[in-house]
Structure 1
Amino acid sequence: MSFFNKMKGGGQSPPAVGLSEILWSWIGAFCGILPVAWLNYNLFNDTDLVFVIGSFGASAVLIYGAIKSPLAQPRNLMGGHIISAIIGVAVFKMFGTHLWLASPLAVATAIAAMHATKTLHPPGGATALIAVIGSQKIHALGFYYAFIPVGVSAFIMLAVALSVNNLCKTRKYPEFWF
């Protein structure tokens, strides 16, 4: 098959989801981001600690909206974010004066590490990138970034996912732990 023929696709679009699935995804995302945002803006607003980073929005899509995906499972959520955060910080420390190099190096290395550890979680790529291109507040955290905000916030979102996703009779989360 030629290179360009592969781009035609050929599979079928997934079916639409029902209103109940939409509602439970909305409730989960709202309830998952709420405590993380509350901590960020009410408890730690005047400190160097941050709890809200952009990649958590993408995690919310997976763990509340695509709960059966292997990429949305607890191992992937926690491991993908923490591993990627550590890699992002390390790359920034080594190559931070060359953001044009540090940015792709952090993302590519995070993807490779997530594959190697069976923790592939697409928002992890953004977590690694944020460690490189983030604000001075993020850079000041150093390796603490992997634990606060990343580890703590991901854990909070996981706890909410376990609660909200299992309240609905037609949902089951997680599909697997390890």
Structure 2
Amino acid sequence: MSVDTSTERIGAEPGRATLRAFAGRAPAPASPAPAAALHSGGVAAAALLALVGIGALLHEPVLIPPIAASAAIVYGVPALPLAQPRSVVAGHLLCAAVGYVGLALLGRAPWVAALAAGVAVGVMTLARTPHSPAAATTVVVVLQAPDPVVFVPLLTGAAVLLVLAGMAASRARRGAVRYPVYWW
């Protein structure tokens, strides 16, 4: 007696049963209107270019990868809790602090960056400031050891600029989600 161990069934597409096991329960969101996508991308590019300009004037890098990721969240999905000012600004500052503590206690090493990023996620959760790009700020601090006297004000200014640009952008486009949904 032979047993059929394949996942294919009559009339089903090959591999469909396997894909179904990994599928979520809700459909993907609808595609945004092209004008909304263009608006979000344009505002993100303008804000990030402003940070590049500020960095050039100060001779300090202000645009770092976590800030670019924050822009994607603030301008792409402004209603999410991760996009709210509390999470953007406080999340980056808390994660920078965790990074500096990890750096001071354990030194500059990839394993310290990984450990500190995990701790930072826990701290953000406890503080109700979820912002995934901020965990990357922890990694930047541990691996690059920037001077906190310079880095923290620039990080704060960059996060605040993203929030202010998000506010302006939401009011400039008719029908856009009002940002922020809440402040604190």
**TM-score under structure 2 length normalisation:** 0.83
Give 1:89 deviation, angstroms.
1.4
The partner residue of 1:173 within 151, 160, 179 is 179
Q: Residue 58 of structure 2 aligns with which residue?
A: 44
Q: Secondary structure at the match of 2:183?
A: coil
1:140–1:107 Cα change, 3 Å: closer
Give 1:39 deviation, angstroms.
1.1
Q: Residue 13 of structure 2 aligns with which residue?
A: none
Give 1:10 deviation, angstroms.
3.0
More displaced stretch, 115-124 vs 162-171? 162-171
Instruction: State the structure with more CA Rg.
Output: 2
CA contact (8 A) 1:81 1:127 kept: yes
Q: Residue 120 of structure 1 aligns with which residue?
A: 130
Q: Distance in 1 between matches of 2:171 and 2:93?
A: 25
Q: Distance in 1 between matches of 2:31 and 2:77?
A: 13
CA contact (8 A) 1:68 1:174 kept: yes
Alignment of 1:125-164 (within 5 A): 125-134=135-144, 139-142=145-148, 144-145=150-151, 147-164=152-169
Give 1:167 deviation, angstroms.
0.8
* Matched residue count: 165
* Deviation digits for residues 123-151 of structure 1 (CA, Å, limit 9, x no counterpart): 011111110112xxxx2413652x23211
Give 1:177 deviation, angstroms.
0.9
1:68–1:53 Cα change, 3 Å: same
The partner residue of 1:79 within 87, 90, 102 is 90
**TM-score under structure 1 length normalisation:** 0.85
Structure 2 residue 66 is matched with structure 1 residue 61 = no
Q: Residue 49 of structure 2 aligns with which residue?
A: 34
Give 1:9 deviation, angstroms.
2.6
Gapped regions of structure 1 (runs ≥ 5): none
1:125–1:140 Cα change, 3 Å: closer
CA contact (8 A) 1:32 1:161 kept: no
AA aligned opposite 1:83: L
For the aligned residue pairs, the C-alpha RMSD in angstroms reads 1.9
Sequence identity percentage: 23
Q: Secondary structure at the match of 2:29?
A: coil
Q: Which structure ranks higher in relative contact order (CA pairs < 8 Å, sequence separation ≥ 6)? A: 1
Q: Secondary structure at the match of 1:105?
A: helix
Q: Distance in 1 between matches of 2:115 and 2:84?
A: 26
Give 1:80 deviation, angstroms.
0.6
Structure 2 residue 26 is matched with structure 1 residue 11 = yes
* Deviation digits for residues 36-91 of structure 1 (CA, Å, limit 9, x no counterpart): 110112x122xxx4312110111011111111111101111101111101111111
